[in-house]
């Protein structure tokens, strides 16, 4: 009985997998607000050339730089665990595996792309990266990555999280980053908001505006901006997860995978595990590939496929994606990383083509699943990750009812050791479920009704 399948460092993937090469129908292009395609020139003030190239690339395999591999090797390859204790508890004939991305220094999958992004910026002469962070997971991952490659890092953290969740801020500072509560007086965007409402709790949208403004107004042109999810190059960098998982399943003697699961906020950890399996599915394999989102933020399951802004304030291009409308403010559930109004264009296109099967689950079922997981497998997962755990449990129970020996794999995107407040509230009975009513979605979509519309499938 092998409980965890561990690869050697030399098994670390040497190339990332780009789903954009294999999509049966290509994605519609990102657009400017007046409907013109975005050109690479427009992105140059914000991102380094190498990442812009990856953003638009249709090459199937893209080499991972040797120095990036060396940093990833500090914690990769991550183990693939067989969830024997959970299987026994559920009395399921299914074999459940989970890929443990919680073992990175920042405790989640996010450093996989943070390291690559920081390294390319450094190589192109950038001195400093700015970014925004909500609960702090992305900010801490980027702070770690910047320390690794020798870049300054400035993180705009949503004010209310800065005050209420001090531990991620301390992690960022420990790695040498500057963590600024947003809105701040450092930027015009921040000063404008503060002038109107000095006691505002802040929002991710405002923090994005501040981080982007800092990058584009640097008189020395040596500051750029980094984004932790949604964009094509972020999905690409995360595919090390799925590529390792395939090798590990083969080592475990599995010839076929039936179900692949990841929680989905912007879509990156899901894409990282799932895209190499989506490639198999495009080539004829029968796999049920499930992105799991919260019922309170049901982008893929209830949102329409439209062009929408990636942020609240209109700093990003129009992206073709499933969306609840960029003005949507989700209920304050504890899975902060899943409260995003849109979904990565690559994940959205895979959903639109029927290559993946999105599911939405309520918060209470997720926390119940997280407690079951902690009490069987031992790991206290992030509230985001609990959505993947809940879905894996559902699928394992279904396998029991059907009497089928299925192989289920899910991504353990991060641990919850800095997010115990949600667990505390759940155990005290202070959390509740919330299903987003269609009427509210329609109200938010009013704001984008005049944006250009993506071409429907099958019109060419
Ligand atoms: C940020 C985060 C997520 C959600 O982001 P994706 O881009 O959808 O992966 C999920 N899990 C953890 C642990 C996170 O930190």
Domain limits, CATH 3.40.50.1100, in the chain:
7-16+57-107+232-448, 111-225
Residues 6+ apart with CB under 8 A from 264: 270, 291, 292, 293, 299, 300, 338, 343, 347, 358
Ligand 1 centroid from CA 268, angstroms: 7
CA-to-CA dists, residue 354 to 23, 39, 288, 451, angstroms: 11, 29, 10, 25
Q: Averaged over 74-80, what is the pLDDT?
A: 98
Residues 6+ apart with CB under 8 A from 325: 308, 341, 441, 444, 445, 446, 447, 448
Neighbours of 57 (CB within 10 A): 16
| Pocket of ligand 1 contains residue 337 by CB under 6 Å | yes
**What is the fold of 7-16+57-107+232-448?**
Rossmann fold (3.40.50)
Cβ atoms < 10 Å from Cβ of 53: 15
Question: Is the CB–ligand 1 distance for residue 313 below 6 Å?
Answer: no
Report the mean per-residue pLDDT for the chain.
Answer: 95
- Chain segment 208-228, per-residue pLDDT in tens: 889 999 999 999 999 999 999
Write out pLDDT tens, residues 327-371.
Answer: 887 777 777 778 889 999 999 999 999 999 999 999 999 999 999
Measured CA to CA in angstroms, residue 240 lies from 69, 212, 267 at distances of 10, 28, 15
- Residue 413 Cβ inside 6 Å of ligand 1? The answer reads yes
Counting from 1 in the atom list of ligand 1, the atom nearest the Cα of 414 is: 13
Q: Is any atom of ligand 1 closer than 6 Å to the C-beta of 265?
A: yes
Residue of 263, 310, 383 to test ligand 1 pocket, by largest number of atoms within 8 Å of CB: 263
| Ramachandran region, residue 147 (left: φ > 0; alpha: ψ -120 to 50; beta: rest) | alpha
User: Does 3.40.120.10 match the CATH number of domain 111-225?
Assistant: no
Residue whose CA is at the smallest distance from ligand 1 atom 5? 265
Q: How far apart are CA 251 and CA 4, in angstroms?
A: 11
The ligand 1 atom nearest the CA atom of 382 = 13
Specify the residue with its C-alpha closest to ligand 1, atom 3.
337
Residues 431 and 367 sit within 8 Å (Cβ to Cβ): yes
CB 161 within 8 Å of CB 336: yes
Pocket test for ligand 1, best of 227, 232, 350, 382 (most atoms within 8 A of CB): 382
Q: In this predicted structure, which of 85-94, 194-203, 220-229 has the lowest mean pLDDT?
A: 194-203
121 lines ligand 1 (CB under 6 A): no
Q: Is 291 in the pocket of ligand 1 (CB under 6 A)?
A: no
Mean pLDDT, range 168-173, rounded to an integer: 97
Q: Is the CB of 154 under 6 A from ligand 1?
A: no
pLDDT digits (tens, 9 = 90+) for 260-280: 999 999 999 999 999 999 999
Which residues make Cβ contacts (< 8 Å) with residue 292, sequence separation at least 6? 261, 262, 263, 264, 270, 358, 359, 360, 361, 387, 388, 390, 391
Asked if 333 and 296 count as a contact pair (C-beta separation under 8 A), the reply is: yes
The answer to whether 274 touches 257, Cβ cutoff 8 Å, is no
Specify whether the CB–CB gap between 251 and 366 falls below 8 A.
Answer: no
pLDDT value, residue 34 = 84
Return the axis-axis angle of helices 268-282 and 240-251, rounded to nearest 10°.
60
Ligand 1: residue of 117, 139, 268 to mutate (most ligand atoms within 8 A of CB) is: 268
265 alpha carbon – ligand 1 mean position (Å): 6
Q: Is 238 in the pocket of ligand 1 (CB under 6 A)?
A: no
Tell me the C-alpha distance between 206 and 189, whole Å: 7
């Amino acid at each position: 009985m092998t409980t965890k399948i561990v690869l050697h460092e030399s098994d670390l993937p040497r190339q990332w997998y780009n789903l954009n090469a294999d999509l049966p129908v290509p994605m519609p292009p990102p657009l400017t607000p007046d409907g013109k395609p975005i050109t690479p020139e427009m992105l140059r003030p914000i991102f380094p050339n190498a990442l812009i190239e990856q953003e638009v690339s249709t090459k199937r395999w893209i080499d991972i730089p040797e120095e990036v591999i060396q940093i990833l090797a500090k914690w990769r390859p991550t183990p693939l665990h067989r969830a024997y204790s959970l299987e026994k508890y559920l009395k399921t004939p299914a074999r459940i595996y989970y890929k443990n991305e919680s073992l990175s220094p920042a405790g989640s999958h996010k450093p996989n792309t943070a390291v690559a992004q920081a390294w390319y910026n450094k190589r192109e002469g950038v001195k400093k990266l700015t970014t925004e962070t909500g609960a702090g997971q992305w900010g801490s991952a980027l702070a770690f990555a910047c320390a690794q490659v020798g870049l300054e890092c400035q993180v705009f953290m949503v004010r209310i999280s800065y005050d209420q969740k001090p531990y991620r801020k301390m992690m960022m500072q420990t790695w040498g980053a500057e963590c600024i509560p947003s809105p701040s007086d450092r930027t015009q965007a921040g000063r404008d908001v503060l002038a109107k409402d000095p006691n505002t709790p802040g929002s991710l949208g405002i923090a994005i505006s501040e981080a982007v403004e800092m990058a584009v107004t640097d008189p020395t042109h040596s500051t750029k901006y980094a984004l932790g999810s949604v964009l094509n190059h972020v999905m690409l960098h995360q595919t090390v997860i799925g590529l390792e998982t395939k090798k590990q399943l083969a080592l475990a003697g599995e010839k076929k995978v039936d179900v692949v699961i990841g929680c989905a906020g912007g879509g990156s950890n899901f894409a990282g595990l799932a895209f190499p399996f989506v490639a198999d599915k495009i080539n004829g394999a029968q796999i049920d590939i499930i992105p799991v989102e919260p019922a309170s933020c049901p982008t893929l399951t209830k949102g329409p496929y439209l062009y929408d802004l990636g942020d609240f304030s209109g700093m990003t291009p129009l992206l073709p994606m499933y969306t609840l409308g960029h003005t949507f403010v989700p209920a304050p559930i504890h899975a902060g990383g899943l409260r995003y109004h849109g979904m990565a264009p690559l994940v959205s296109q895979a959903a639109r083509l029927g290559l993946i099967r999105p599911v939405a689950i309520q918060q209470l079922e997720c926390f119940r699943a997280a407690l079951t997981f902690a009490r069987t497998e031992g790991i206290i997962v992030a509230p985001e990750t609990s959505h993947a755990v809940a879905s894996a449990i559902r699928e394992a129970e279904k396998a029991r009812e059907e009497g089928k020996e299925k192989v289920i794999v899910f991504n353990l995107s991060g641990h919850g050791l800095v997010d115990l407040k949600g667990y505390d509230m759940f155990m005290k009975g202070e959390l509740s479920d919330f299903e987003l009513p269609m009427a509210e979605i329609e109200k938010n979509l009013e704001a984008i009704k005049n944006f250009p519309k993506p071409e429907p499938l099958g019109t060419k």
